Amino acid sequence: AQSVTQLDSHVSVSEGTPVLLRCNYSSSYSPSLFWYVQHPNKGLQLLLKYTSAATLVKGINGFEAEFKKSETSFHLTKPSAHMSDAAEYFCVVSDQNSGYSTLTFGKGTMLLVSP
Amino acid sequence: DTEVTQTPKHLVMGMTNKKSLKCEQHMGHRAMYWYKQKAKKPPELMFVYSYEKLSINESVPSRFSPECPNSSLLNLHLHALQPEDSALYLCASSQDSGSYNEKLFFGSGTQLSVL
């Protein structure tokens, strides 16, 4: 069985300061891990994906995440927040389930960015 | 074209109505998905179609009836819904559903209100 825990329901930062969104996972297999972002009243957009090629994954819009197997973590970071980064962020784990890819979503972290 | 298009964007229906949600993609993807998302919650998987065949039904009530007329289209037929079915309904697609590290492309969703 797989699961995802996003440690913070809300994170507030000031524009220009670093962003850290925390995620821990549990998986029976070697998982794939994703971060998706959802802006208000929009669908989800993939930020980045880890599939065991490299532990540091770079995504779109300056975001990156580091896979740490020993800590079962996949935290999302960005050096400098922008107002447009304000959105809901979901950490997602995927492993094979009866031969089909199924995603398990974390509960989400709302990122608030103040001027 | 890397878009998943959903129509309508908003829908209000009574409990005795019959309506349909539509989803379309032209990326050549062979897997399509319906997710349900309640406010401030992560998306929940409802159905997966793989090569136009229903492969996963996550114990969804029969008042929701999916249909995949061809590889580009996915419908969700709604009948006799309850107020608690009000939610954002998201369609997604991926190249294939058989690989656990597939990236999903999401539409912007249909915001459904059941009165």
CB contact under 8 A, A43 and B48: no
Q: Sign of the CA dihedral B65, B46, B31, B13?
A: positive
Q: Which tens digit of pLDDT belongs to each residue from B7-54? A: 999 999 999 899 999 999 999 999 999 999 999 899 999 999 989 999
Q: Sign of the CA dihedral A98, A100, A101, A103?
A: negative
Confidence tier at A53 by pLDDT (50, 70, 90): confident
How far is Cα A107 from Cα A110, in angstroms, rounded to an integer? Answer: 10
Contact A12, A112 (CB under 8 A): yes
Contact B20, B91 (CB under 8 A): no
Task: Give the max Cα distance, chain A.
Answer: 47
Q: What is the pLDDT of residue B8?
A: 96
Is 90 exceeded by the pLDDT of residue B64? Answer: yes
Q: Which residues of B touch A90 (CB under 8 A)?
A: 42-43
CA dihedral A93, B33, A111, A81 (to 10 degrees): 90
Any A CB within 8 A of B27 CB: no
Q: How far is B42 from chain A (nearest CA, A)?
A: 5
Q: Say which residue the tokens 């539509």 belong to.
A: B22
Interface with chain A: mutation pick from B5, B50, B104, highest number of A CBs within 10 Å:
B104
Mean pLDDT of all residues in chain B?
A: 91
Is 80 exceeded by the pLDDT of residue B97? Answer: no
Contact A78, A63 (CB under 8 A): yes
Gap between the terminal Cα atoms of chain A: 41
